[in-house]
Amino acid sequence: MKILISEVTIRDRVTELGAQLSREYAGRPLTILGVLTGSVVLLADLIRATSVPLRVALISASSYGGTRTSPGVLSVNSSLVPDLKGRDVVILDDIFDTGHTMEGLYEAVKGFEPNSVRSAVLLWKTERTAVDLVPDYFGFKIPDEFVVGYGLDFNDEFRHLPYIGVPDQDDLTAAGG
54 - beta bridge partners?
A: 30
How many structural domains does the chain have? 1
Is residue 168 a part of any domain in this protein? no
Is residue 149 a part of any domain in this protein? no
Q: Which of 15, 73, 93, 69 is nearest to 47 (CA)?
A: 15
pLDDT digits (tens, 9 = 90+) for 131-144: 999 999 999 999 99
The one-letter code for the residue type at 146 is: F
User: Are the C-beta atoms of residues 167 and 159 closer than 8 Å to each other?
Assistant: no
Interatomic CA distance for residues 164 and 150, integer angstroms: 6
Is residue 177 a part of any domain in this protein? no
Mean pLDDT of 106-132: 95
Is residue 31 a part of any domain in this protein? yes
Active site residues per annotation: 97
Q: Is the dihedral angle over the CA atoms 150, 4, 50, 39 positive or is it negative?
A: negative
CATH code for the domain in which residue 105 is found: 3.40.50.2020
Query: pLDDT category, 90, cuts 50, 70, 90?
Result: very high
The predicted structure's pLDDT at residue 66: 47
Interatomic CA distance for residues 54 and 57, integer angstroms: 10
Stated pTM of the model = 0.90
Is residue 65 a part of any domain in this protein? yes
Is residue 170 a part of any domain in this protein? no
Q: Say how many CA atoms lie within 13 Å of 12 toward its Cβ.
A: 6
The predicted structure's pLDDT at residue 63: 65
Q: How many angstroms separate the first and last alpha carbons of the chain?
A: 15
* Other CB atoms within 10 Å distance of the CB of residue 110: 12
The predicted structure's pLDDT at residue 140: 98
Domain of residue 92: give its range: 2-144
Is residue 159 a part of any domain in this protein? no
